[in-house]
Amino acid sequence: MSMLVADELTKQFPGESQPAVDAVSFTVEPGEFIVLLGPSGCGKTTLLKMINRLYEPTSGRFFIEGVDARDMPVTALRRRIGYAIQQTGLFPHLRIAQNIAVVPRLLGWSNDRIEARIDALLDLVGLPREFRQRYPRQLSGGQQQRVGLARALAADPAMMLMDEPFGALDAITRTRLQDELMAIQRKLHKTILFVTHDIEEALRLADRVMVMKDGRIIQFAPPLMLLAQPEDPFVAELTGASDLLRQLSLITVERALAHPGLQPSTDETADLTPLHPQDDLRLALTRLLSVGDEGLVVVEDGRMCGRLTLNHLQAVLRDTALLGAQR
């Protein structure tokens, strides 16, 4: 069963000429990492807040695991949804442990269970347990976001809504938190709706990207599809679809080696810096440019599994270009 189904969901604020969210319909499957991408004011936050019932829709409906959200008490609904935001929303006068425990306490968990949960969550988000006793202001911005993530995960919700959670962080901290979020996702298989206006973040994290503009969904597709088949000039411009390097960054070495038009060669000349099958082709290209025609060895678990050449890259790019031309 689908995790979330939205049916013509609309929010019209009083006194505004256009709806903030305009009759959007979409379906999200369990375990999907969805990124909502679009310029400021396009309705991303409003959409998340309707799903969390912080705003009531003006019209339309949505279903969580098949149940109409209006038929669920708000508290029951929010228990199944974790919410994390850019400003973290941590309570400044509560210690980290108390902040993380807010929802479990509301749910009446026993003290033992709550204490164990706090430890487990601190481990999960990569914070030392000594941080339990600190106050939010005694943590860096990135650490506070980790606490925000731990708090959102506290009652083990099926779905996570994240509204530009890394928006205020410096680039290095941000990339690190993206990596950890992806690692957590691989472990926990939550359904995630993650808002950003940063295209790199969207392409990096998403299974599918929902591109929004003026309250509407312009395209809802996997990252490579957005680049190869933008539905609309707006999407092409937003995603930089003409950027070949960006396309290469979304394709793995493994996929290029499996290209049907080319025989994987497996001669055993050793290479100093072998590629891994899961490396992306952008990285591969930068290395290939310095080695010449013989290409680069691809190694997994100490075993050579192929040799990647510029021909592979050209073949794969031709495929995605053809994909785009088929429309």
Positions in the binding site for ligand ADP (CB under 6 A): 13, 16, 20, 38, 40-46
Q: In whole angstroms, how close is the CB of 48 to ligand ADP at the nearest point? A: 8
Q: How far is the CB of 70 from ligand ADP (least distance, A)?
A: 21
Binding range to Mg ion, per CB under 5 A, among 39-47, 75-83, 111-119, 215-223? 39-47
Query: What's the one-letter identity of residue 21?
Result: V
20 binding partner (options Mg ion, ligand ADP, none; Cβ < 5 to 8 Å by kind): ligand ADP
Under rule CB under 5 A, how many of the chain's residues touch Mg ion?
A: 1
Closer of 41 and 261 to ligand ADP (Cβ): 41
What is the nearest approach in angstroms of Mg ion to the Cβ of residue 202?
14
41 binds, among ligand ADP, Mg ion, none (CB under 5 to 8 A by kind): ligand ADP
What's the closest the beta carbon of residue 205 comes to Mg ion, in angstroms? 17
Closest CA to 193 of 31, 30, 7, 34: 34
Query: What are residue 299's DSSP bridge partners?
Result: 304
The residues with which 21 forms a beta bridge, in sequence order, are: 11
- Own/partner long-range contacts of 119-124 (Cβ < 8 Å, ≥24 apart): 121/150, 121/153, 121/154, 122/96, 122/150, 124/150, 124/153, 124/184, 124/187
Pick what 16 binds: Mg ion, ligand ADP, none; C-beta below 5 to 8 Å, kind-dependent.
Answer: ligand ADP
Backbone angles phi, psi at 18, to 5 degrees: -115, 150
Q: Which is nearer to ligand ADP, 45 or 229 (CB)?
A: 45
Residue pair 218/235 in contact (Cβ under 8 Å)? The answer is yes
Which residue, 16 or 301, has its beta carbon nearer to Mg ion? 16
Helices (H), 240-309: 244-249, 253-257, 281-291
Is the Cβ of residue 46 or residue 309 nearer to ligand ADP in the bound state? Answer: 46
Distance CA(101)–CA(117), nearest Å, equals 8
Q: How far is the CB of 17 from ligand ADP (least distance, A)?
A: 10
How many CB atoms lie under 10 A from the CB of residue 131? 17
Minimal distance, residue 64 CB to ligand ADP, in Å:
20
Between 212 and 253, name the residue whose CB sits nearer to ligand ADP: 212
What does 151 bind: Mg ion, ligand ADP, none (CB cut-off 5 to 8 Å by kind)? none
Collect all residues with Cβ–Cβ distance below 8 Å to 289 and sequence separation of at least 6. none
Considering only residues 43 to 102 of the shown chain, the ones binding Mg ion according to CB under 5 A are 45
Q: Which is nearer to ligand ADP, 41 or 128 (CB)?
A: 41
**From CA 49, how far away is CA 278, in angstroms rounded?**
36
